[in-house]
Structure 1
Amino acid sequence: MRLAFTFFVAGFVSFAVPASAQSPDPVAPVKEVMDITISNWSEDVDEWKSIFESELLDRLYARDLVALYRQASEKAAKLFDSDDPVDPFDYDVVTGSPDGCPLQDVKIALAGEKDGVSDVVATFRLWTCEENEDTRNLVTEAHFEVVQEDGRAVIRDIYHILDGERDSVVEELRTMIAQEDDE
């Protein structure tokens, strides 16, 4: 009976945690981040949810990215004279923009793997509410570097692609941390 209860509890716990928390599938953590991003840009969003919320950090992201994010958050907190960590980004790192419209035509796919790093690509239309047809039909592309840590897939870096250039979230965090305080 005790063994059956243990299996029941273990099964219940595994259902209570999102699949991306347990999965070696490199697309799983990206899908969870994109679901949050889609919700954030929807017309009926009540409250913006950070893709770097404390609960998500250790579950969806690689240890190195988490350490950099926490360090940059602490530095931002000092700049804003806050006792709590502050999100160091003033824009959405997935869309690469502080503004936008409800995301449409979202596609997430594994683009390839090399040396233990999976390239998961998310494409979407961000400017669907704009009047200009060319702007409205622009396709935005974000790349997620996904690696395996402790048997699960985690995001190591996020790159927003604009005009053929890749902006690295990790490099941006390093730059923020390295900047001298103006005090």
Structure 2
Amino acid sequence: MRLAFSLFVAGFVTLAAPVAAQSPDPVAPVKEVMDVTVTNWSDSVDEWKGIFEGDRLNRLYTKELVELYKKASEKAAKIFESEEPVDPFDYDVVTNSQDGCPLQDVKIALAGEKDGVSDVAVSFRLWACEDNADTKNLVSEVHFDVVQEDGKAVIRDIHHVADGERDSVIEELKAIIAQEE
């Protein structure tokens, strides 16, 4: 009887306690993008999949980035005289490259949070199959700005880091849109 009463009280206390709101994991959209990227660079890839294609575009990215990507795709279509939108990037946005090896030593980690923006850092070796030791051991670094939008974690921007400088996919999309035809 005492055990039954204790279980009842424990259950009541658990139900009566306020439930902490759980924030969506800022690493989750980055992990999905990296899963696609790792597959794309693998030796066994049958078909390249874009990180902005299909439902990923609206599901993994902010409304602002989606709008800019769509406008840049329309601009690229005009430039390339295509009737369909065209991926405005002529390189892999994550690896910042058109060439490379299967990705090695991929690491994804939450690097910090400031003003509602989570910094998710990714590092990997893109040239692990090269013979030159210096090239082979180069580690690439990419940072994803992840924010909460409509109750879910979404990517706001992607930054390549090289020589202490960070670029911005958002700024690149704006530059594509601003190009003269």
TM-score (norm 1): 0.85
Matched, 1:122 2:104: no
- 1:126 and 1:70 mapped to 2: Cα distance? 28
Percent sequence identity is 74
Q: AA paired with 2:169? A: V
Corresponding residue for residue 28 of structure 1: 28
Corresponding residue for residue 64 of structure 1: 64
- 1:106 and 1:58 mapped to 2: Cα distance? 25
Corresponding residue for residue 155 of structure 1: 155
Corresponding residue for residue 13 of structure 2: none
1:3-82 equivalences under 5 Å are 24-82=24-82
- 2:163 and 2:127 mapped to 1: Cα distance? 16
RMSD: 0.9
How many equivalent residue pairs? 159
- 1:152 and 1:69 mapped to 2: Cα distance? 20
- 1:86 and 1:163 mapped to 2: Cα distance? 31
Corresponding residue for residue 132 of structure 1: 132
- 2:123 and 2:79 mapped to 1: Cα distance? 34
Q: Which runs of 5+ in 2 are unaligned?
A: 1-22
Q: AA paired with 1:69? A: Y
Q: Secondary structure at the match of 1:111?
A: strand
Large movers: runs of 4+ above 4 Å: none
Q: Secondary structure at the match of 1:93?
A: coil
